[in-house]
Amino acid sequence: MAGDRLLSLTQDIITAKASHAAMSADEMARAIKEVYMAFKWVEAQEQRAEKLAKAPAISGLDSIGRSRVICLECGKEFRQIFAKHLARHGLTVREYKKKHGIPLKKGLAARTLSNKRRRYAREKGFGRSVAKDRIEEE
């Protein structure tokens, strides 16, 4: 436990200090409190630094750029992040998007790749037959 470790370190410091100079009970209690609080502050700063180091440098939507997509788990760059890659991190596409605040309807592909696929689909007439069928049903 971290608390036990801090108490042990505090005890060692106060014992060393008391062996070199006479301390009253009030001085010893104050010294114990000051040293322990200093250790707690250092521990809190270390935990804060670890948390900041683990946080991605960019937000979820900012990771999807014009020509690349950055995986927020490992930092690698792709044209598109596939489910197979996310499985290596133990995540599904849905879990990844929720974790990083990416809308569920947003694709994990670079915008140039999405635009290229969109142009190709329009040229080939994909979706027109579906639209015609919907109009005929109504």
pLDDT value of residue 60: 81
Print the domain residue range for 87: 61-137
Nearest to 108 by CA among 88, 126, 86: 86
Shared domain for 72 and 126, answered yes or no, is yes
Does residue 113 have a pLDDT over 80?
A: yes
Instruction: Using pLDDT thresholds of 50, 70 and 90, give the confidence band for residue 135.
Output: low
Q: What is the CATH number of the domain that holds 92?
A: 1.10.10.1550
What is the pTM for the complete model shown? 0.51
pLDDT value of residue 56: 61
Percent of the chain scoring above 70 in pLDDT: 88
Shared domain for 66 and 44, answered yes or no, is no
* Cα atoms found within 13 Å of the Cα of residue 87, Cβ hemisphere only: 3
Segment 109-113 shows an average pLDDT of: 92
Outline where the chain has alpha helix (H): 2-20, 25-54, 83-88, 93-100, 111-124, 128-137
Alpha carbons 19 and 14: distance in angstroms, whole number: 8
pLDDT value of residue 52: 66
For 64, the 3-state DSSP assignment is: strand
Shared domain for 68 and 126, answered yes or no, is yes
For 109, the 3-state DSSP assignment is: strand
Does residue 96 have a pLDDT over 90?
A: yes
- pLDDT tens track for 36-91: 999 899 988 888 888 766 656 677 888 898 999 999 888 899 999 999 999 999 99
Count of domains in the chain? Answer: 2
Alpha carbons 26 and 93: distance in angstroms, whole number: 60
pLDDT value of residue 133: 62
